[in-house]
A and B are shown apart, each in its own frame.
Chain A
Amino acid sequence: MAQLAAAEPLAVTRVAASRRSLAARLWSQPSGRAGLIILAIMVLAGLASLAGLVPDNPNAQNPAATLRGPSAAHLFGTDQYGRDVLSRVMAGTVLSLQTALLAVAICAVLGTLGGVAAGYFGGVISSVVTSIADLLFAIPSILLALAIVSGLGAGWQNTAIAVGISYTPIFIRVVRGPVLAIRNADYVKAAQVLGFSRRRILFRHVLPGVGGILAVQVTLALGWAVLIEASLDFLGLGPPPPAATLGLMVSDGTNIAGIAWWTLAFPAIAVVLLVLGFTLTGDGLRDALDPSTANS
């Protein structure tokens, strides 16, 4: 309980922390380290799948070997069509990763543009941008995604667009705050007084200050994107069968989980690992960038 009484500011420990590089600090955080390791595994698995280094063709059906449990031949077992679950999970990982990357690219670009515009220019522009952000935020993301996907058709790019647009308001909010704070900081005012061009102030003073926060938010957004994308696939709104999406696999697996638990467990674990990997890394990044928010 003594911890809950205030102590002297520990300037000593903080000085020591800032001397190590960002990467070293990220690695030393248990959350950062775990996140990076998990991500490394998943990305490797995905790359392997892309390179064709899979045990079996993810779409190769084998009626003779349906619903076999995990074995030496099929590490994750086979599904109801005899397809190798491990290969499908690896292919699903690729799909999830590329969808998430495209989605976050969209919302990061749109959101940063909007956030910087709102924070830097203020006034009418800020009001308009934040109003749009509030509106988008009030619409449940699933609905937005539903509408876009069911209208544009099923395909991983459309899913990515839907997810990306839904997350944009969060980026706008996250970016706008620091931009506003930096813009009003004394050193930026000094730059203005000295006559630096707006573009120079933006690129050399404002943006670098936002970089860290952006990095954290991008990482967290990737985790969120995987989650929403998998949910959409689960609901049948993603790429249709026979596409190997993790969400579809979980959906199918639920029905036969009683007799073939591996068809549900492994895709589910893959989704969880992806989301956790990004979330942990994002947390670790946040703590590494600002030790005062560290959770120990």
Chain B
Amino acid sequence: MTDRNVTSASPVLAIRDLSVGLKTRTGVTELVRSVSLEIRPGERVGLVGESGSGKSLTMLAVMGLLASPVTVTGGSVTLGETELVGAPDRKLRALRGSEIAMVYQDPMTSLDPLQRIGEQIAEGLRAHGAHRNEAEERALAALAEVQLPDPHRLARAYPHELSGGMRQRVMIAAALAGNPRLLLADEPTTALDVTIQRQILSLVARIQRARNLAVLWVTHDLGVAAQFVQRLAVMYAGRMVEVGPTAAVFGAPQHPYTAALLAAVPSTTGERSALGQIPGSPPEPGNFPPGCSFASRCRQARPGCIRAEPALEARGDGVAAACFVPPAEWQP
């Protein structure tokens, strides 16, 4: 899935060694550990992982929307030239909505039930200096762009009058109305029907291409990742374990976890076989084992795997993986 719009210009978003933790009376519980990722202008990057792997927290940390006691404990996040970690709230507010926008997972609770749809979009635009009429016009335009019928009536409607799929389109409209450079999407289609899911995905893809918008799309669904993203990052237990172009990662996974995830996807072709499963469950935050976090569930684990944590290393073809055991030595 090549895309002419992707350039090798400086990245829109650069996450470097970002760590997020939970501050308790006794110390800090690590939730996201030293995660690094770059997104270039106009690029679609996917972030994949199980629940609890830290992918949503990573995105919230980028937006500066973490709520105490969860907080960034280290690393940096730069949007273009601007450092986001530790930036004053005033600066972050200026960026949110206008440069970087987010769409959330649950459309049912992401809209204020007491306020009309149009107003909720317009108020965001006014917060960035638009006049009342201009904000209204742009809100209507945004609703039209996400293919919602009759934007005028919709703008005056309340959230409870809309279906889940329509609400998610409204969220996307609200996110895009400010014309951001970067769109963060936290599993926006997980709560929706599969057919609606495809519609939303194709809608976002079309808009993304038209605007050369950079997108970070979090999902736990590999199928969505395969359809939509150009580069894929895999997270496990708060760490980045593999990252690279989608085709390369799918074709030749460099990390046992990625391979296991791919093997767990049921196949509609080929022979019938038992559903691949990964035995055990991910470690809980605060209980990360020493060494590689995946070692206890890994078919390829060696004694050295629990002694030290593997770092992300380039494996060629733009792929990087954090594993001591190269695929050539894997056992089936």
Q: Is chain B in direct contact with chain A in the complex (CB below 8 A)?
A: yes
Q: Which of A1-43 contact B (CB under 8 A)?
A: 1-8, 10, 12-13
Least CB distance from B7 to A in Å reads 34
Query: How far, in whole Å, are A4 and B67 apart by their CA atoms in the complex?
Result: 7
B89, A1: Cβ atoms closer than 8 Å: yes
- Chain A positions within 8 Å of B286 at CB level: 12
Least CB distance from A7 to B in Å reads 3
B66 CB–A CB distance under 8 Å = yes
B29 CB–A CB distance under 8 Å = yes
B171 CB–A CB distance under 8 Å = no
The prevalent SS among residues of A at the interface is loop
Query: How far, in whole Å, are A5 and B69 apart by their CA atoms in the complex?
Result: 12
What 1/0 mask marks residues of chain B from 70 to 82 whose CB sits below 8 Å from any chain A CB?
A: 1000000000000
B219 CB–A CB distance under 8 Å = no
Least CB distance from B313 to A in Å reads 30
Of the candidates B29, B56, B89, B284, the one whose C-beta lies within 8 Å of that of A8 is B56
Q: How many A-B residue pairs have CB under 8 A?
A: 31
Query: How far, in whole Å, are A2 and B22 apart by their CA atoms in the complex?
Result: 15
Query: How far, in whole Å, are A1 and B65 apart by their CA atoms in the complex?
Result: 11
Of the candidates B29, B67, B89, B285, the one whose C-beta lies within 8 Å of that of A6 is B67
- Chain A positions within 8 Å of B69 at CB level: 10
Residue in A1, A3, A8 whose Cβ sees the most chain B Cβ within 10 Å: A8
What band does the interface of chain A fall in when counting residues whose beta carbon is under 8 Å from B? 10 to 19
Residues of A within 8 A of B (CB): 1-8, 10, 12-13
A12, B67: Cβ atoms closer than 8 Å: no
A7, B29: Cβ atoms closer than 8 Å: no
Contact flag A7-B89 (CB < 8 Å), given A12-B22, A12-B285: no
- Chain B positions within 8 Å of A4 at CB level: 67
Of the candidates A1, A3, A8, the one whose C-beta lies within 8 Å of that of B60 is A8
B57 CB–A CB distance under 8 Å = yes
B65, A8: Cβ atoms closer than 8 Å: no
- Chain B positions within 8 Å of A7 at CB level: 60, 66-68, 70
Contact flag A5-B67 (CB < 8 Å), given A10-B22, A12-B22: yes
A3, B67: Cβ atoms closer than 8 Å: yes
Total interface residues on B, CB under 8 Å, equals 16
Of the candidates B24, B29, B67, the one whose C-beta lies within 8 Å of that of A2 is B67
- Chain A positions within 8 Å of B68 at CB level: 2-3, 7
Q: Which of B48-94 contact A (CB under 8 A)?
A: 56-57, 60, 65-70, 89
Query: How far, in whole Å, are A285 and B233 apart by their CA atoms in the complex?
Result: 46
- Chain A positions within 8 Å of B89 at CB level: 1-2
- Chain A positions within 8 Å of B66 at CB level: 2, 7
B284, A12: Cβ atoms closer than 8 Å: yes
Of the candidates B29, B60, B65, the one whose C-beta lies within 8 Å of that of A12 is B29
- Chain B positions within 8 Å of A2 at CB level: 66-68, 89
Q: Would you give 17 A-B contacts (Cβ < 8 Å), ordered by A?
A: A2-B67, A3-B67, A3-B68, A4-B67, A5-B65, A5-B67, A6-B67, A7-B68, A7-B70, A8-B56, A8-B60, A8-B70, A10-B22, A12-B29, A12-B285, A12-B286, A13-B22
Query: How far, in whole Å, are A8 and B51 apart by their CA atoms in the complex?
Result: 12
- Chain A positions within 8 Å of B67 at CB level: 2-7
Least CB distance from B204 to A in Å reads 23
Query: How far, in whole Å, are A194 and B13 apart by their CA atoms in the complex?
Result: 59
Query: How far, in whole Å, are A224 and B165 apart by their CA atoms in the complex?
Result: 49
Least CB distance from B95 to A in Å reads 15
Q: Which of B26-49 contact A (CB under 8 A)?
A: 29
Residue in A1, A3, A4, A6 whose Cβ sees the most chain B Cβ within 10 Å: A6
In the complex, besides A2-B68, A8-B60, A12-B22, 12 extra interface pairs with C-beta distance below 8 angstroms are A2-B66, A3-B67, A4-B67, A5-B65, A7-B67, A7-B68, A8-B56, A8-B57, A10-B69, A12-B29, A12-B286, A13-B22
